[in-house]
Chain A
Amino acid sequence: RAGGGPVEWAEWSRLCDGHGPLAVGHCHPLVVQAAHEQNQVLNTNSRYLHDNIVDYAQRLSETLPEELCVFYFLNSGSEANDLALRLARQYTGHQDVVVLDHAYHGHLSSLIDISPYKFRDLDGQKEWVHVAPLPDTYRGLYREDHPSPAAAYASEVERVVRSAQERGRKIAAFFAESLPSVGGQIVPPAGYFSQVAGHIRRAGGLFVADEIQVGFGRVGTHFWAFQLQGQDFVPDIVTMGKSIGNGHPIACVATTQAVAKAFEATGVEYFNTFGGSPVSCAVGLAVLDVLEKEQLQAHATCVGRFLMELLRQQKAKHAIIGDIRGAGLFIGVDLIKDKATRTPATEEADYLVSRLKENHILLSTDGPGRNVLKFKPPMCFSLDNAQYLVAKLDAILTDRSQAITQHT
């Protein structure tokens, strides 16, 4: 069972869900009501005209830059990213894709191929896939002490593109999670996306921003995480999923008219059986309504800042915490064995997650070193929840370091 309402709803345990697709809180009554009402009236496919799909598309378009005004509705982030690939290839006439190291874009065959997080352990890298370094200013090539990490990382992308072109290959797209999640809750440095977009577009490719994990107001200051990179940066394609339906299987691709027209020019219809159904769109609309009514975006900014502050205090106290990074309610706590080497504290992170579970707090880890505690709770996460969580974390870390001191 789950209840996402006020603290007094929690009974014998408080679930601080550290991961999952939810935006507005488990079983939000307004979202449930919207789904139920529509389920009773009509749930059919998008080959019939219906108000919900057009209304939803219009509402989504209002959250995005003007150019991104054409929508395709689907059922999962994976389906969305696969369609984004198809759109980019059709538009550019090119095949190759540039991705970031440790990226994860979905479980479909086409997406395993562009997810280093997966293909490194499976079929290996395909010749049409090119991997650029993750713009990780804590553990990557260019760190916080570098004068301009954004330019440095962007020039890595340029290098990768040039190397591909020298081998006669042509770039269709650059794919990146707006905030790489599986890669360890990474916040790319400001200016990185614009510069990368410049390199990619000069090579004839498109910029695909994967907002599946991080869209819908999670970062607090903006509705979409790519907007953290500045108003002058507009991707060519945006994919969204997970939190979009508060658990209902929905996803979406937003793109420009030019890209949409090129896709139509193939003459092949795109039909997604369940995508854009009246119920899915009613749910999507309800989620947007709740985000607005309950001011969850502002809430994410506020609680996010508070949580980051509490965590920074913990960082000052516990040497195991190497870095705190994030935006809004997307936060990563990077655990290390050694401040100088920044070696990932993998086992310790695992231990911490188990101890937290014993205390009825659910968290998971991410990053190639499985050492980054990943905070991405429902947007109704409260200041109380944040305080409680950090207090428990503190207690466990304190316990642990005392135990270690006693043994040494």
Chain B
Amino acid sequence: MCELYCKSDTLALRGKHIGPSCKVFFAADPIKIVRAQRQYMYDEKGEQYLDCINNVAHVGHCHPEVVKAALRQMELLNTNSRFLHDNIVEYAKRLAATLPERLSVCYFTNSGSEANDLALRLARQFRGHQDVITLDHAYHGHLSSLIEISPYKFQKGKDVKKEFVHVAPTPDTYRGEYRECHADPASAYANEVKKIIEEAHKRGRKIAAFIAESMQSCGGQIIPPAGYFQKVAAYVHEAGGVFIADEVQVGFGRVGKHFWSFQMHGEDFVPDIVTMGKPMGNGHPMACVVTTREIAEAFSNSGMEYFNTYGGNPVSCAVGLAVLDVIESEDLQGNAMRVGNYLTELLNKQKAKHTLIGNIRGIGLFIGIDLVTDHEKRTPATAEAQHIIYKMKEKGVLLSADGPHRNVLKIKPPMCFTEEDAKFMVDQLDEILTVLEETVGAQAESVIPANTARRAKVPKGAQVELLDNSTTDPRENPSRKRNGLCADTHSPLSKRLKT
């Protein structure tokens, strides 16, 4: 594999020509990936990494069936959806078959962001209402309309919350207002939504939609308590609004037991609009909004055409169909369930062993490891999380840290992830946590506050190490590795990246 540019030139050119707002993973020591297959990625030196970050390579990087399907169609035809073509209708049919019956009308777009923007337009057109209820720490996309409903973004950018946006508390039973010890957190959190609706009505405002990621990802791998969505949907419907389930990160069998994450909430819960993206095309730019006939008709009654130049093109649909085929033929849903359960089991053992692990939550191959410096207070271990992901990278495992405090290690690998991969990942993590805890003296029985212990033990020089772009490999110097803790929570490293 020959590179066009050496890594430092690649980095330099990037600095010159790519918008500086576009960040790289591991900013202190970025990775140049040149090749990937299944759940493994390879850098320019041929070093292998186990990809637990993933993002879009749902059925495995460069899956040959998907690649073949794209090639076949690219050689034949790639035009827009204003011509009749079998691929788009076949794909819509196959997608609809995975969903509850009333979700039967599809709009194809190119990105989750486009899908969520269209979902908003559909919701607003439906009854002419404007307001949107969103969850705290939500992220729905990078478009203007979506920054407005993504507290994860607008709070960071210090944008003023728009008056038509209402933020409900995230139904986080680990760190939120109503926790696992609460008698009925689902009702308690749903009641917050009810209060918001009542407040809005008092001010003469009308609710168009409640939008939520079926499981919050950037918000820290949050799984809403059972019953929450049903109750919220009831309140929202009563107010004349619709329920939008954002499955952009979590759809297509990732949770194992079901195809869509929202299905975990029971057969009696059916959103009015579902948006999907990311894994849909295994990396090919495609996304979709599925809704009811009623909502679709209200949208078309405006008389305005909706045309998306590339959405629903024959190649994208061929790719989408191939991904569905692979999910089925390789029983990836079953795999997600089996490997996900096994991984969760291993992680729970780690939790018993390491005090840094406050909570393990997840389902299927969507798992979060919530790191804390104090079990009672559940103080997010932000710096430790950063340190860990850099150390994991050195050991050939790619992980990212998410959540509003950047302390949740996020595991969302390609669906072909194996039990061996899970064991490998956990073994590396175990080693790193052990070393870390030895270094900071954070024993389970320790009465010394973690911060003090850290400051006492870590030499000042070590703080600089992670920010240094030098090519020294800490693997060659075990003592440096031991001391490589970045305790500076305000460093650029702590501005973690969302996936």
Whether both chains belong to one complex is answered with yes
B36 within 8 A of A: yes
Does B41 contact A44, Cβ atoms closer than 8 Å?
Answer: yes
Residues of A contacting B64 with CB < 8 Å?
40
The 4 residue pairs across chains A and B that have the minimum distance between CB atoms = A57-B17, A54-B13, A49-B32, A247-B78
Does A79 contact B113, Cβ atoms closer than 8 Å?
Answer: yes
Tell me which residues from 16 to 73 in chain B have a Cβ below 8 Å from any Cβ of chain A. 16-25, 30-36, 41, 55-57, 61-62, 64, 67, 70-71
Does B57 contact A43, Cβ atoms closer than 8 Å?
Answer: yes
A-B contact pairs, 16 of them (CB 8 A): A21-B80, A21-B309, A26-B77, A42-B61, A43-B62, A45-B56, A47-B24, A49-B32, A75-B114, A76-B111, A108-B114, A109-B117, A109-B121, A109-B144, A266-B158, A276-B22
A223 within 8 A of B: no
Stretch among A31-39, A319-327, A333-341 lining the B interface: A31-39
B498 to chain A: closest CB distance in Å?
Answer: 7
Does B111 contact A50, Cβ atoms closer than 8 Å?
Answer: no
Residues of A contacting B121 with CB < 8 Å?
109, 112
A270 to chain B: closest CB distance in Å?
Answer: 4
Does A79 contact B143, Cβ atoms closer than 8 Å?
Answer: yes
Chain A 234-278 interface mask (CB, 8 Å, partner B; 1/0): 000000011000111110010100001101101111111110110
Stretch among B235-243, B300-308, B416-424 lining the A interface: B300-308
Residues of B contacting A261 with CB < 8 Å?
20
Interface centre among B78, B114, B117 (most CB of A within 10 A): B78
Checking B158, B284, B286, B497 against A269 with a beta-carbon cut-off of 8 angstroms, the contacting residue is B497
A41 within 8 A of B: yes
| Minimal Cβ-Cβ distance residue in B for A268 | B157
| Minimal Cβ-Cβ distance residue in B for A17 | B79
A125 to chain B: closest CB distance in Å?
Answer: 15
B445 within 8 A of A: no
Does B304 contact A271, Cβ atoms closer than 8 Å?
Answer: no
Does A267 contact B144, Cβ atoms closer than 8 Å?
Answer: no
Beyond A27-B74, A55-B5, A273-B56, 10 additional pairs, beta carbon < 8 A: A2-B76, A47-B24, A72-B22, A76-B111, A108-B143, A112-B121, A122-B304, A263-B21, A270-B21, A273-B285
Checking A44, A270, A274 against B111 with a beta-carbon cut-off of 8 angstroms, the contacting residue is A274
Does B10 contact A269, Cβ atoms closer than 8 Å?
Answer: no
Give the complex CA separation of A266 and B156 in angstroms. 8
B37 to chain A: closest CB distance in Å?
Answer: 9
Checking A32, A71, A246 against B17 with a beta-carbon cut-off of 8 angstroms, the contacting residue is A71
Does A247 contact B32, Cβ atoms closer than 8 Å?
Answer: no
| Minimal Cβ-Cβ distance residue in A for B14 | A54
Chain A 74-114 interface mask (CB, 8 Å, partner B; 1/0): 11111100110110000000000000000000011110100
B406 within 8 A of A: no
Does A75 contact B144, Cβ atoms closer than 8 Å?
Answer: no
Give the complex CA separation of A241 and B114 in angstroms. 15
Does B33 contact A42, Cβ atoms closer than 8 Å?
Answer: yes
Does A21 contact B310, Cβ atoms closer than 8 Å?
Answer: yes
A69 within 8 A of B: yes
Give the complex CA separation of A107 and B117 in angstroms. 9
Given contacts A271-B498, A273-B55, contact A44 B33 (CB under 8 A): yes
Chain B 459-499 interface mask (CB, 8 Å, partner A; 1/0): 00000000000000000000000000000000000010110
Does B310 contact A76, Cβ atoms closer than 8 Å?
Answer: yes
Given contacts A72-B19, A109-B144, contact A48 B71 (CB under 8 A): no
Give the complex CA separation of A170 and B114 in angstroms. 28
Does B18 contact A55, Cβ atoms closer than 8 Å?
Answer: no
B88 within 8 A of A: no
B340 within 8 A of A: no
B283 within 8 A of A: yes
Given contacts A43-B62, A77-B309, contact A273 B315 (CB under 8 A): no
A14 within 8 A of B: no
Residues of A contacting B498 with CB < 8 Å?
269, 271
Does B10 contact A42, Cβ atoms closer than 8 Å?
Answer: no
Residues of B contacting A268 with CB < 8 Å?
21, 153, 156-157
A228 within 8 A of B: no
Checking A48, A266, A271, A273 against B33 with a beta-carbon cut-off of 8 angstroms, the contacting residue is A48
Residues of A contacting B32 with CB < 8 Å?
48-50
Residues of B contacting A53 with CB < 8 Å?
14, 18
Residues of B contacting A76 with CB < 8 Å?
109-111, 114, 308-310
| Minimal Cβ-Cβ distance residue in A for B143 | A82
Does B56 contact A32, Cβ atoms closer than 8 Å?
Answer: no
| Minimal Cβ-Cβ distance residue in B for A28 | B74
Does A41 contact B157, Cβ atoms closer than 8 Å?
Answer: no
Chain B 98-129 interface mask (CB, 8 Å, partner A; 1/0): 00000000000111111001101100000000
Does B285 contact A274, Cβ atoms closer than 8 Å?
Answer: yes
Give the complex CA separation of A50 and B18 in angstroms. 12
B142 to chain A: closest CB distance in Å?
Answer: 6
B491 to chain A: closest CB distance in Å?
Answer: 14
Residues of A contacting B110 with CB < 8 Å?
75-76, 79, 249, 274
Interface centre among A49, A246, A279 (most CB of B within 10 A): A49
Checking B22, B31, B285, B310 against A270 with a beta-carbon cut-off of 8 angstroms, the contacting residue is B22
B277 within 8 A of A: yes
Residues of A contacting B10 with CB < 8 Å?
49-51, 54
Chain B 120-156 interface mask (CB, 8 Å, partner A; 1/0): 1100000000000000000000111101000001001
Interface centre among A70, A108, A264 (most CB of B within 10 A): A108
Give the complex CA separation of A64 and B110 in angstroms. 27
B338 to chain A: closest CB distance in Å?
Answer: 26
Does A32 contact B75, Cβ atoms closer than 8 Å?
Answer: yes
A45 to chain B: closest CB distance in Å?
Answer: 6
Interface centre among A76, A267, A272 (most CB of B within 10 A): A76
Give the complex CA separation of A90 and B41 in angstroms. 36
Does A273 contact B17, Cβ atoms closer than 8 Å?
Answer: no
| Minimal Cβ-Cβ distance residue in A for B120 | A109
A385 to chain B: closest CB distance in Å?
Answer: 17
Does B35 contact A41, Cβ atoms closer than 8 Å?
Answer: yes
B7 within 8 A of A: yes
Residues of A contacting B33 with CB < 8 Å?
42, 44, 48-50
